[in-house]
Structure 1
Amino acid sequence: MMFAFPTREDAMPAPHRRLAALLTLLGVAGLIVLVILTRPEKRLEMTPPPPARVETLVVTRHDFRPTERVGGRLLPWRTARLAFETGGRVMERRVEPGQHMSKGDLLVRIDAREAEAALAEAEAQLALERARIERDRKRLALAREEAKLQTREVERLASLGDEALVSATRRESARSRLLQLRAEVASLEAEVASAQARIARRRAAVDRARLALERTFLRMPFDGVVDAVHVEVGDRARVGEVGVVVADDARLEVRLPVRSAVAAGLSRGQPVRLWLEGQARQGEVVAVQAVPDPRSWTREVVVRLSPGVGVLGEWVEVDLPLPVLQAVLAVPVTALLRDEAGAWVFRVEGDRLVRARVETGERVGDWQVLRAGVAAGDVVVARDVAALADGQRVEVTR
C-alpha cells in the first residue's frame, strides 16, 4: 500500500498559489521588455534617390509676328430701317421676315389716293402751261408780222409829205398802232422768254407730287433679306414710324471690341486672317473707331468677309496683328513654373537645377517671351517642371 506525500505547493493556500503565478508572469514579461530595450539598434543606410531625367533646351533669340485673337458674331454689312415719310392707312403688305427681295421691290403700300390726285393735278398744270407757251409763240409770230406791216404803213404815210391828201390824224393813228403792236411784241417776247422757267416750275411741281406718291410705298433699297415687318394691313402709319427692317446679307462682317493698343496698329483695307468653323479665311479691316468707348475703353474694329462667306449669326475669330517682336528671348510655355511669387524656370548647371525667377513678356502661341532672368545660351528644363525643386540632381536626356 502506497502513500502520497503532499508537496510544498499543495501545502500552500490557494490564494498564495495564484499570487505566485502572477508574479512569475510579470517577471517573465519584464525580462522580455528589458531584452528588447537593451538590444543593439540596426543602422539604416540611406541610399540617395536617382537623378531626375529632364529634357532641356538652349535659350535663344527669336523673331515673332504676334496676333491677338478676338471673336464675334457675323452681321450683315449693311442694314436699313425703312420709315414712312408720309402718313396713311396701310393698304398692302407683300413681305414676311426672312424673305429675300430685289432692289426696288414693293414691300408695304399705304393709301395713295390723295397723292395720286395731287400728281394728276400737277401733270395737268404742266400740260396747260405747255399749251399756253405754244399759244404765246404763235401770237408772237403774228404780232411781229403785223408790226412789220404797220411799220411799212407808217413809213408810207410819212413819205407822202404834207402835200398829199393824208390828214395828220391818219398819220398819228398809224404811229399809235405801231407803238401798240411793238408793246404787244415785247410782252409776248417776255412771255416766251420765261417759258423755260415756267415749264421748269411746273415740272418741279410734278416731281414733288410724284415723290409724294412714291412716299406712300416702302421699297427694297438693295438686294437683301427682310429682317422684320412692324405693320399690318389696316394699321395707321405715322410719319417717321419704322415699317420694315431689311439687311444686305450678300457680304457679312464682324464688329470687334479691341484694345486701343491693338486698334492703333490697324488701318482700313488691311487684310487679316480669320477662323470660321476651324477653317482659315481672309478678311479685310473696313473701319477702326477713332475714339475709345468711355465705358470699356475699347475701340470697335469692323472686319468684312468676302462675298458668300459665312452665315448670319455664326461665330468667327479674327487674328489681329500686333507689333513685330525682333530678337527676343523666348522659351516654350511648358518650361515655366508659376506660383504666387511669380514665374520661374529651372536652369541646368552641371547635374543640378537652379530655380531662377524670370520676368515674362508677351505670349506668342506656345512660346513665352522673357524680359529678364535668363540669358541667351542658358540651358533650361523644357517641360514637366511642376515636380522639380531647386538644387535637385538631374540627368539630361537631350
Structure 2
Amino acid sequence: MDHKPLLTRVLIPLGILIFASVIAATLVISRPSATIRDSEEKSWIVSVVPAKPAAISPQITIYGKVESPFMTRLTAAIGADVEDVAIREGEHVQKGQKLIQLADSDYQLQLKQRNAELAEIKAQIRSELDRHKSDEQALEHEKTLLDLARKELDRARSLHRDNLSTQSHIDEAEQIVVKQQLAVNIRALSVNDHGARLAQLKARATKAEALRDLAALDVKRSSIKAPFTGKVTSVRVSPGDRTKVGDILVELYDHSTLEIRAQIPTQYENTLQQALASDTAITGFALLSQQTITVTLDRISGKIIQGSGGLDGLFRINDANKQLQVGRTLELRLSLPSISNAIALPREAIYGSDRIYRLAEERMSALSVERVGEMQMEDGNNYVIVKSSDIKAGDNIITTQLPNAIDGLLVKVAENTQ
C-alpha cells in the first residue's frame, strides 16, 4: 500500500496552517501601539437673561362664561288666545316694547261691567248726600211742627179748663203731638244713620274700584312688554295658541347687566379676596372677534357650586358689546396686585413648575422659585413671574431648555446673548 500520497495530503495543509499562524503572530507583535487620550467634557450652548427684580403686576389666565343675573321668563298672567307675536328669538328689544299680544275682548267686557258697578255706587253716594241734606232740613221743619202741635195741645187743655173746649179736642191735639213726635224721631234717626249708610256705600265703592282696577290690570296684562332693554333667547308661543295662567311665553335677559362667571384658582383666592376688601381694582381683558373686552372683578360668589373646584369670581363687563351672548365662553387675563422683587422670565427658563438654572462659573446651578403668575410683554410673548430670595439683580438666568439639564452641567453662553 502506498502511504506517500496520504502523507502529502496531511503535511501540506498543516504546513500552510503553521505558516499562517506565524504571519498573524508577527503582525500582531509589530502593530503600532494606540495613543491614549484624555476625554474632554462637552459644554452645551445656552442663552441667558440678566435677572431684574422689580415690582410687577402678574397676570393669570382663567376661563369664564357669560351670564346675566336678570334672566327673565315672562309668563301669562291671564288665560287667553295669542293674537300676535311681534318678536323672534335673537332679537334685541327695548324697554316697554310690545312682544306678544293676547286676546283681551273678554277682559274688556269685564272692565266695562266693573266701571258700571262703580258708577252706580258713586251715584248712590251722591243720592245719600242729597238725602242727608234734605233730612236735616226736614228735621228742623218736623221739630217746628212738633212745637206747634204742643202749643195747640196746651191751648186745648186751657180752653177745657175754662169749659170752652171738649175732651175730644184735647184728644185730637194729643194725637197730633204723638204723631209729630214720631215723625221727628224717624227723621232724626235717618239723619243719625247717615254716617253708617255713607260708610257702607264708600266701602262698596272701594271694593268696586278694586275690582275695576283688577279688570283693567287683566286688560293691561294681555299686552306682554319687555321689562328692560335686552335680548330674546326664546319664544314659546305662536298666534292662535291658548295660554293658561303661568305658561312661559318669552325668555330674555338684560344686556346691560351681563357679567362673566369664572372659577378662581385656589392659590389666588386669598389674593383676590384681600384686594376686594381693600377696594383694590382687579382688572383684566378678554378677546372677542379681535375686539378687547375689559372686565373688573365685582364680587366673589358666596358658595361653591357642586362639582366645581373652588369659588367663582363675578366680573363686571366695562364695555357694552352686543356681540356677547349668554353662555359664551371667554378666556380672561387678569392683572393681580403688584408684587415686589419679582422677576419676569421666558417660559423656556422654567423647568417643571418651580425650578430654574442660574449660570455660575460656566455651570448650571439649580434654584427653586415661587411661581406667582404670568404677564404678556409688549412683544406679545408670555413671561412667567417668579420670586426667590436666592436670585440677585444681574444674575444670569439660563433660558435654554436642555433635555439633560442637571445641576453642575457645563455650559457656554451663546455669543449673541453675552
TM-score class normalised by the smaller sequence: 0.7 to 0.9
Corresponding residue to 1:353 among 360, 363, 369: 363
User: Given the superposition, is the C-alpha separation of residues 188 and 368 from structure 1 closer, same or farther in structure 2, using an over 3 Å criterion?
Assistant: closer
Corresponding residue to 1:363 among 373, 378, 390: 373
- Trace 1:380-395 onto structure 2 (pairs within 5 A): 380-386=396-402, 388-395=405-412
- Whole-angstrom distance in 1 between the partners of 2:217 and 2:299: 34
Structure 2 gaps, min length 5: 160-169, 376-382
Corresponding residue to 1:335 among 331, 341, 349: 349
Secondary structure of the structure 2 residue equivalent to 1:275: strand
Aligned-residue sequence identity (percent) comes to 19
Q: Deviation per CA, 1:261-302: give whole Å up to 9, x if none.
A: 526346499562222235544334445310112322433333
User: Given the superposition, is the C-alpha separation of residues 226 and 323 from structure 1 closer, same or farther in structure 2, using an over 3 Å criterion?
Assistant: closer
User: Given the superposition, is the C-alpha separation of residues 108 and 280 from structure 1 closer, same or farther in structure 2, using an over 3 Å criterion?
Assistant: closer
- What amino acid does structure 2 have at the position aligned with 1:84? A
User: Given the superposition, is the C-alpha separation of residues 115 and 343 from structure 1 closer, same or farther in structure 2, using an over 3 Å criterion?
Assistant: closer
Structure 1 gaps, min length 5: 1-11
Report the RMSD for the aligned CA atoms in angstroms. Answer: 3.8
Greater mean deviation of Cα atoms: 203-212 or 101-110:
101-110
Greater mean deviation of Cα atoms: 195-204 or 107-116:
107-116
Corresponding residue to 1:304 among 301, 316, 322: 316
2:72 corresponds to: 80
Corresponding residue to 1:209 among 211, 215, 218: 215
2:233 corresponds to: 227
Preserved CA contact (<8 Å) 1:250 1:307: no
Q: Deviation per CA, 1:294-322: give whole Å up to 9, x if none.
A: 32243333323245325134553334454
TM score, norm. by length of structure 2: 0.75
Secondary structure of the structure 1 residue equivalent to 2:121: helix
User: Given the superposition, is the C-alpha separation of residues 67 and 47 from structure 1 closer, same or farther in structure 2, using an over 3 Å criterion?
Assistant: closer
Preserved CA contact (<8 Å) 1:265 1:323: no
Q: Relative to total residues, which structure has the larger strand share, 1 or 2? A: 1
- Trace 1:248-263 onto structure 2 (pairs within 5 A): 248-250=254-256, 252-259=258-265, 262=269
Greater mean deviation of Cα atoms: 253-262 or 182-191:
253-262
- Trace 1:1-398 onto structure 2 (pairs within 5 A): 27=19, 30-31=22-23, 34-46=26-38, 48=40, 52=44, 54-56=46-48, 61-75=53-67, 78-158=70-150, 162-163=154-155, 167-250=173-256, 252-259=258-265, 262=269, 264-265=273-274, 267=276, 272-277=283-288, 279-306=291-318, 308-313=320-325, 315-320=329-334, 322=336, 324-327=338-341, 333-338=347-352, 343-349=354-360, 351-365=361-375, 366-370=383-387, 374-376=390-392, 379-386=395-402, 388-395=405-412, 398=418
- What amino acid does structure 2 have at the position aligned with 1:207? D
Greater mean deviation of Cα atoms: 19-28 or 221-230:
19-28
Secondary structure of the structure 2 residue equivalent to 1:337: coil
Preserved CA contact (<8 Å) 2:101 2:223: yes
- Whole-angstrom distance in 1 between the partners of 2:47 and 2:147: 127
Aligned length, in residue pairs: 382
Q: Deviation per CA, 1:374-398: give whole Å up to 9, x if none.
A: 3546844331151554434445563
Preserved CA contact (<8 Å) 1:335 1:345: yes
Preserved CA contact (<8 Å) 1:115 1:209: yes
User: Given the superposition, is the C-alpha separation of residues 211 and 185 from structure 1 closer, same or farther in structure 2, using an over 3 Å criterion?
Assistant: same
Q: Deviation per CA, 1:48-102: give whole Å up to 9, x if none.
A: 3575555555656543333432223434563311122233443433332233333
Deviation, 1:133, is 0.9
Deviation, 1:47, is 6.8
Deviation, 1:136, is 1.1
Greater mean deviation of Cα atoms: 321-330 or 310-319:
321-330
